[in-house]
Amino acid sequence: MLSKTVLIIGGNAAGLSAASQVKKIQPGWKVIVYEKGPYISYAGCGMPYFLQGIVSEFEGLLELTPETVVKDRKIELNLHHEVKSVNPVKKEITVKNGGTVETIAFDYLLLATGALPSRRGIEVKHPFSRRVFTLKSLDDMLEISALMEEQKPRRCGVIGGGYIAVEMLEAFQARGLETHLVHRRDQLANTFEPEISAMILEKMKEEGIALDLNRDVLEVAEAGEEIIVRTDKGDLIFDFVLIATGVDPNTAFLQDSGIELGIKGSVVVNKQLQTNFPYIYAAGDCAQTTSIITGQPAYVPLAPKANKEGFIAGANIAGGNEEFAGIGETAITKFADMGIARTGLTQEAAVKSSFDAVKYTFSTSNRPRYYPGGEELYCVCVINRDDGRFLGAQMAGPLDGVKRIDVFALLIQQKMTVGETFKLDLAYAPPFSPVYDPVILAARLGRKHI
Ligand SMILES: Cc1cc2nc3c(=O)[nH]c(=O)nc-3n(C[C@H](O)[C@H](O)[C@H](O)COP(=O)(O)OP(=O)(O)OC[C@H]3O[C@@H](n4cnc5c(N)ncnc54)[C@H](O)[C@@H]3O)c2cc1C
């Protein structure tokens, strides 16, 4: 095969997975990565734990060094290079580096530009004060860290109700700050079942987080040394504020390119991760995907998706024909000593997708009652009444207990029913689980609902 030029926009999970894969399969091809920031291959998921102090080494968050990428993997790397536009017809991109703008031609292009924090319409006055943050990049993390070290703030507000808000509330609280959750609903984000949300909020209260719920944030403004969060129910005053109200795909620069955009502006791709221009691929947080449960388009920005899509896009660019199966929305996090995990659809989402979805909850222990160290594990299951198929599951409880969500993820992906799940031969011994593993118990209880 003749040598080809592959350009990759974005030097993190999706971009570098793809670049490495292309080089592995086609070592003779030219693979060039453009990254607008100063870092590549960083563990964004580790940032809350760095800010909490659990991860102490900044370098530990950097997975591949530029030297490894360039010298060992033979990938051309351009840091501080921002791609400004894509011309799919001419097969060219324009790249800005300082005051220089260049046009570069490609045979294949991968869009791996990730996502950007969304402020959900919250107006931030004085956005340069640097006491109002979002957390997306390592630079954001370093700025928050410096503020905590140097200015010794006392009070902070976290606006949002998703998993990054949960993780950052834990981090700030553990650092000894007076920490407030400010959220527009009386529950966390609607990706959590209300029962799980209530348990997390209760745990937050126990740990001393102030809950400012049911408040619509209208504006965040600076007044002297203070940050005022103006809400429909009055002002809240903090020393600094983190806005963690979700992310949007980072695709504004593609708006007029002719590349098809879907949910929230994410890039529409087929199973091979090709856009409407077959030589242009997209992977990771900038790309739309498909729900493996409903078959409908979905936008779910998570790290395993980004890494796997990068791998698959790279393999396909290099001549392969691999498919990305879609997403089951499996996710896990923690607050203090409570593990929190989810997969599949909530009952609300399942009903919206026209399933006759029935929900049931139960609580069990992660060990037999007689064995020391057992803790309560709370489960919410959603099944399809028609055929008994599992549609969703959520768990809250001990950290090792909630990782069982992976078994639910598997059986949901395999479209297994409660009857089939009950027949699974899962491992049992007292130090690990009760004799009816929570997954088997979920199946046994689920049989009563169909
Ligand atoms: C605080 C935090 C915690 C998280 N925790 C978890 C977790 O526990 N589990 C989980 O599954 N996911 C987690 N995530 C999400 C996960 O980090 C992302 O899904 C993943 O990083 C997406 O990888 P990506 O390569 O698609 O995009 P990104 O990681 O966003 O990388 C995109 C890269 O493209 C660069 N770029 C953007 N535009 C341009 C341009 N025009 N030109 C050149 N370069 C450009 C950016 O600078 C960036 O380096 C977390 C995210 C955050 C912020």
Query: Which range, of 23-37, 121-135, 231-245, 421-435, averages the lowest pLDDT?
Result: 121-135
Q: pLDDT category, 48, cuts 50, 70, 90?
A: very high
Q: What is the DSSP string of 160-212?
A: --SHHHHHHHHHHHHTT-EEEEE-SSSSS-TTS-HHHHHHHHHHHHHTT-EEE
Q: Is 239 in the pocket of ligand 1 (CB under 6 A)?
A: no
Q: Is it the case that residue 121 has pLDDT exceeding 80?
A: no
Q: pLDDT tens-digit profile of 205-222?
A: 999 999 999 999 999 998
pLDDT higher than 80, residue 125:
no
Closest CA to 272 of 329, 319, 307, 328: 319
Answer yes or no: is the C-beta of 392 below 6 A from any ligand 1 atom: no
Reduced to 3 states (helix: H, G, I; strand: E, B; else coil), residue 39 is coil
Q: How close is the Cα of 80 to the center of ligand 1, in Å?
A: 16
Percent of residues, the chain, with pLDDT higher than 90: 96
Lowest mean pLDDT among 19-33, 110-124, 192-206, 283-297: 110-124
1 has a pLDDT exceeding 70: no
Average model confidence (pLDDT) across the chain: 96
Q: Do 118 and 248 contact (CB within 8 A), yes or no?
A: yes
Mutate to test the pocket of ligand 1, among 116, 243, 250 (most ligand atoms within 8 A of CB): 250
Examine domains 5-116+248-317 and 134-245 and report if their fold is the same.
yes
pLDDT band at 129 (very low <50, low <70, confident <90, very high): low
Name the CATH code of domain 5-116+248-317 (choices 1.20.120.160, 3.40.50.300, 3.30.465.10, 3.50.50.60).
3.50.50.60
For residue 308, the one-letter residue type is K
> Comparing C-alpha atoms, which of 158, 135, 167, 165 is closest to residue 334?
167
Fold of the domain built from segment(s) 331-449: FAD/NAD(P)-binding domain (3.50.50)
Compute CA distances 204 → 1, 31, 108, 199, 404, whole Å.
Answer: 58, 47, 48, 9, 23
Q: How many angstroms is it from 44 CA to the middle of ligand 1?
A: 6
Q: What pLDDT is recorded for position 126?
A: 65
Judged against a pLDDT cut of 90, whether residue 259 lies above it is answered with: yes
Which CATH class, in words, describes the domain spanning 134-245? Answer: alpha beta
Is residue 157 helix, strand or coil?
strand
Give the whole-number percent of the chain exceeding pLDDT 70. 99
Question: With contact defined as beta carbons under 8 Å apart, do 227 and 237 qualify?
Answer: yes
Check residue 128 and give its pLDDT. 60
The answer to whether the beta carbons of residues 179 and 169 sit under 8 Å apart is: yes
pLDDT for 130: 84
Mutate to test the pocket of ligand 1, among 21, 35, 45 (most ligand atoms within 8 A of CB): 45
Q: What would the mean pLDDT of 248-275 be, rounded to a whole number?
A: 98
Between these two residues, 58 and 124, which has the higher pLDDT value? 58
* Cβ 248 under 6 angstroms from ligand 1: no
Which runs of consecutive H residues, i.e. helices, occur in 261-325?
A: 303-317
Tell me the one-letter amino acid at 380: V
Mean pLDDT for the stretch of residues 247-264? 97
Among candidates 395, 396, 394, 439, which has minimal Cα distance to 418? 439
Region 392-417: mean pLDDT is 97
User: Mean pLDDT, to the nearest integer, of 152-167?
Assistant: 97
pLDDT bin (cut points 50, 70, 90) of residue 225 is confident
**Catalytic annotation, pick one of 45, 156, 379, 381:** 45
For ligand 1, atom 41, name the residue with the nearest CA: 83
Q: Is the CB of 249 under 6 A from ligand 1?
A: no
Q: Is the CB of 44 within 6 Å of ligand 1?
A: yes
Closest residue to atom 50 of ligand 1, CA basis: 45
State how far the Cα of 9 lies from the Cα of 113, in Å rounded to an integer: 6
Burial 204-213, CB ≥16 within 10 A → b, else e: beebebebbe
pLDDT of 9 higher than 80: yes
Phi first, then psi, for residue 439 (nearest 5°) are -70, -45
Higher pLDDT, 405 or 119: 405
Which of 86, 93, 113 most suits a substitution to test ligand 1, by most atoms within 8 Å of the C-beta?
113
**Ligand 1 atom at minimal distance to the Cα of residue 302:** 19
State the pLDDT at residue 2.
85
- As a whole number of Å, the end-to-end CA separation of the chain is 56
Instruction: Say yes or no: CB of residue 253 within 6 Å of ligand 1.
Output: yes
- Mean per-residue pLDDT, 270-290: 98
- The domains of the chain are located at 5-116+248-317, 134-245, 331-449
pLDDT of 3 reads 93
> Is 83 near ligand 1, meaning CB less than 6 Å away?
yes
* Residue 8 alpha carbon to ligand 1 centre in Å: 15
* Annotated catalytic residue 45: yes
Confidence of residue 127 (pLDDT cuts 50, 70, 90): low
Average pLDDT of the residues in 100-117? 98
Q: State the distance from the centre of ligand 1 to the C-alpha of 114, rounded, in angstroms.
A: 5
